[in-house]
């Protein structure tokens, strides 16, 4: 096996691996130096010249010329009588350059060199992939779905590097087939059994944050700061934003004209409902905004236990809790408070109307008759049925029914 054929065989690795020319030369030199050191005892006096482009591999050993009979170390010295066979003008004390040819290595040594080269290339590749993706944690990666399994999806990036998207890191409504393009954030990079394992995620809050950076220039430029993100993947998300520039409306900028900016994010997240709210250090106002779209009546906060009791009209309670309880759950995570919602009975009383307010529709003498039995408000009259009103007043049945109709209409 001659020099050229051997190097051409080795250089095949360069075509299939992501290794640059300089690195490949370094690996080749390192492998041959190791073998020479093993064969001759030292490689300090050896020059290994590799040129992958030309397929050249030259190895030279520098030997000191000593007098005949005074040879002490064959790996670093050569006798004068042998040196002058290479070049007649050599003298004792000079150095002679001796070429080591591939035929000087045995077949077993050649196989060992090849195995070492394969191991070195694989080791470099794995370390290169690990370091590359270790620095890309938190970045969005686009790849092609190569294989779909029950518990995970195998994704290939544009360099053919294998990435994994576990089932637990997929949005529940995600569905992919081989060949589909997928976008996800690099969540974790580990070395398992000396092999890099790159884990992607589509459920991480970081994924949503990076999507906002891509769609909203003000977020990318730092004019708008994302303070907090909480998600129930595929269902609902809440994101608190803040701007230190009073001229910028952070919520409006994130949503865009007619929702133009946020629509792309919602589609990417499989129609996940995204609430964008203004961040504030005022706890009561923050909780109020976090419970949107529900409107609250009052809040009682216990800072010691981080609990908040929220009171609202009965028709707002279901909005505050949300479908599947996601709205109140996410509001609690976003604000850091344990939120309990209560129906505000007092608000119903506050909504009551003085009976005198209906004087334009109800005759005054009828109003006076109602006041005489203690019915000063509309709700106090409605709390009595027609039969009781007839028995407690001198009003006609037709008059009572008309009064009840007018008062009911006020609260419909």
Read off the pLDDT of residues 207-220 as tens digits, 9 standing for 90 and up. 999 999 999 999 99
Residue with tokens 């005054």: 364
Q: Where are the alpha helices (DSSP H) in 42-106?
A: 80-86
Residue with tokens 């637990």: 168
CA dist., res. 320 & res. 66, Å (int): 95
pLDDT at 12 over 70: no
Q: Do residues 378 and 406 lie in contact, with contact meaning Cβ atoms separated by under 8 Å? A: no
**8-36 average pLDDT score:** 65
What confidence tens digit (pLDDT) does each residue in 31-70 have? 777 777 777 767 677 777 766 666 567 777 777 777 777 7
Domain 3-130 falls under CATH 3.30.70.380: no
**319-327 average pLDDT score:** 88
CA dist., res. 290 & res. 302, Å (int): 17
pLDDT at 275 over 80: yes
**What CATH number should be reported for the domain whose range is 280-350?**
3.30.300.20
Domain ranges of the chain: 3-130, 145-201, 204-273, 280-350, 352-411
pLDDT at 224 over 90: yes
Q: Which fold has domain 352-411?
A: DNA polymerase; domain 1 (1.10.150)
Are 145-201 and 280-350 equal in CATH topology?
Answer: no
pLDDT at 5 over 50: no
Domain 145-201 falls under CATH 3.40.50.720: no
pLDDT at 358 over 90: no
Query: Of 290, 362, 372, 376, nearest to 327 (Cα)?
Result: 290
**216-239 average pLDDT score:** 94
**255-275 average pLDDT score:** 92
pLDDT at 347 over 70: no
May I ask the CATH architecture of the domain 204-273?
2-Layer Sandwich (3.30)
Q: Read off the pLDDT band of 187 (50, 70, 90).
A: very high
pLDDT at 120 over 70: yes
Average pLDDT taken over every residue of the chain: 83
H or E, element range at 250: helix 250-255
Helix axes 107-134, 3-16, angle to 10 degrees: 20
CA dist., res. 117 & res. 343, Å (int): 74
pLDDT at 344 over 60: yes
CB neighbours of residue 368 within 10 Å: 11
């Amino acid at each position: 096996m001659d020099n050229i054929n051997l190097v051409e065989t080795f250089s095949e690795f360069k075509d299939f691996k992501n290794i640059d020319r300089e690195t490949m030369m370094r690996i080749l030199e390192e492998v041959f130096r190791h073998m020479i050191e093993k064969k001759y005892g030292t490689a300090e006096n050896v020059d290994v010249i590799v040129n992958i482009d030309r397929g050249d591999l030259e190895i030279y050993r520098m030997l000191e010329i000593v007098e005949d009979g005074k040879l002490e170390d064959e790996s670093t010295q050569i006798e004068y009588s042998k040196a002058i066979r290479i070049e007649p003008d050599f003298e004792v004390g000079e150095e002679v350059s001796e070429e080591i040819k591939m035929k000087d290595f045995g077949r077993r040594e050649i196989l060992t060199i090849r195995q070492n080269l394969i191991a070195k290339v694989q080791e470099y590749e794995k370390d290169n992939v690990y370091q590359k993706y270790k620095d890309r944690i938190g970045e969005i990666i686009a790849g092609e779905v190569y294989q779909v399994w029950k518990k995970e999806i195998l994704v290939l990036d544009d360099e053919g590097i294998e990435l994994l998207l576990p089932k637990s890191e997929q949005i529940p409504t995600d569905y992919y087939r081989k060949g589909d393009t997928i976008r996800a954030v690099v969540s974790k990079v580990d070395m398992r059994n000396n092999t890099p394992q790159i884990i992607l995620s589509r459920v991480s809050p970081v994924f949503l944050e990076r999507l906002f950076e891509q769609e909203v220039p003000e977020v990318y430029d730092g004019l708008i700061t994302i303070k907090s993100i909480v998600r129930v993947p595929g269902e609902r998300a809440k994101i608190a934003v803040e701007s230190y520039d009073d001229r910028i409306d952070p919520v409006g900028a994130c949503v865009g004209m007619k929702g133009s900016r946020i629509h792309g994010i919602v589609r990417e997240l499989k129609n996940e409902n995204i609430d964008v709210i203004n961040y504030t250090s005022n706890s009561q106002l923050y909780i109020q905004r976090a419970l949107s779209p529900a409107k609250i009546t009052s809040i009682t906060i216990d800072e010691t236990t981080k609990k908040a009791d929220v009171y609202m009209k009965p028709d707002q309670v279901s909005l505050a809790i949300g479908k599947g309880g996601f709205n109140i759950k996410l509001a609690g995570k976003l604000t850091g408070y344990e939120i309990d919602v209560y129906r505000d009975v007092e608000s119903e009383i506050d909504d009551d109307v003085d009976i005198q307010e209906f004087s334009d529709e109800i005759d005054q003498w009828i109003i006076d008759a109602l006041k005489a039995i203690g019915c000063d408000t509309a709700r106090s009259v409605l709390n009595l049925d027609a039969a009781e009103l007839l028995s407690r007043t001198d009003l006609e049945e037709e008059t009572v029914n008309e009064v009840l109709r007018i008062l009911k209409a006020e609260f419909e």
